[in-house]
Chain A
Amino acid sequence: AQKITQTQPGMFVQEKEAVTLDCTYDTSDQSYGLFWYKQPSSGEMIFLIYQGSYDEQNATEGRYSLNFQKARKSANLVISASQLGDSAMYFCAMRVNNAGNMLTFGGGTRLMVKP
Chain B
Amino acid sequence: DADVTQTPRNRITKTGKRIMLECSQTKGHDRMYWYRQDPGLGLRLIYYSFDVKDINKGEISDGYSVSRQAQAKFSLSLESAIPNQTALYFCATSEAEGTGNYGYTFGSGTRLTVV
Q: Kindly list chain B residues whose C-beta atoms are within 8 Å of the C-beta of A81.
A: none
B114 sits at the interface (CB 8 A): no
Is there contact, CB below 8 Å, between A43 and B111? yes
Is the CB–CB distance between A44 and B100 below 8 Å? no
Which one of B17-25, B37-45, B76-84 is at the A interface?
A: B37-45
CB <8 Å contact, B42 and A91:
yes
Describe B's contact surface by its main secondary structure: strand
Give complex CA distance A101, B51 in Å. Answer: 13
Q: Which residues of A contact B74 (CB under 8 A)?
A: none
Q: Which of A11-19, A45-53, A69-77 contacts B (4 or more CB under 8 A)?
A: A45-53
Within A54-104, the residues touching B (CB, 8 Å) are 91, 93, 95, 100-104
What 19 new A-B contacts, CB under 8 Å, besides A44-B108, A91-B43, A105-B43?
Answer: A4-B42, A6-B42, A9-B40, A33-B101, A33-B102, A43-B88, A43-B108, A43-B111, A45-B106, A50-B100, A100-B48, A101-B94, A102-B48, A103-B45, A105-B42, A106-B42, A107-B42, A108-B40, A108-B42
Chain A residues engaging chain B, CB cutoff 8 angstroms: 4, 6, 9, 33, 35, 43-45, 47, 50, 52, 91, 93, 95, 100-108
Q: Which residues of B contact A (CB under 8 A)?
A: 31, 33, 35, 40-45, 48, 50, 56, 58, 88, 90, 92, 94, 96, 99-102, 104, 106, 108-109, 111
